[in-house]
Amino acid sequence: MMLRHCPAAVNRRALPPPDPCPSPRRTPTFSDTIEVQNVGQPGKTYRADATKYAEMRAAMEKVLPTAPPGVPVADLIEEVKPHLSPTVFPGGETAGWWVKCVQLDLEAKGLLKRGPKPPVRLCCP
């Protein structure tokens, strides 16, 4: 006696139907991002949103002093918020993360210096 296999019977677990309304969030493309460095990890690079990076860097350049002792990071975060676009950083959200991202990148490139003593104070040489 020969047994026949029904494809539907073999695969009893049906896959869910595809989502008819995919998420409206767009995955960033390679051109929407830039490579950033980290002073703590020489030679390693990361991808970051180019628009947010450029906006934060411009804001930081407006408020950073050019001579030591510099400004503490906590104060820097508060000082850059008025200079940020509300469409890019609504309500100043994630400003702290982006200050740190730009800080570490600029330090790795030698464009930003830390003060000699704790707490961390930043200035543009």
Of residues 16 and 73, which shows the higher confidence score?
A: 73
Q: In angstroms, rounded to a whole number, what is the distance separating the alpha carbons of residues 125 and 118?
A: 18
E-assigned strands of 4-125? Answer: 33-37, 45-49, 71-72, 113-114, 121-123
Is the pLDDT score of 117 beyond 90?
A: no
Q: What is the pLDDT of residues 53-72, one digit of tens each?
A: 999 999 999 999 998 889 99
pLDDT beyond 90 at 115: no
- Assess contact for 98 and 80: CB atoms under 8 A: no
Roughly what angle, to the nearest 10 degrees, separates helices 95-108 and 73-80?
Answer: 120
pLDDT at 3 over 50: no
Q: Provide the residue type at 56 as one letter.
A: M
40 pLDDT exceeds 70?
yes
Residue 66 DSSP class: S
pLDDT at 27 over 70: no
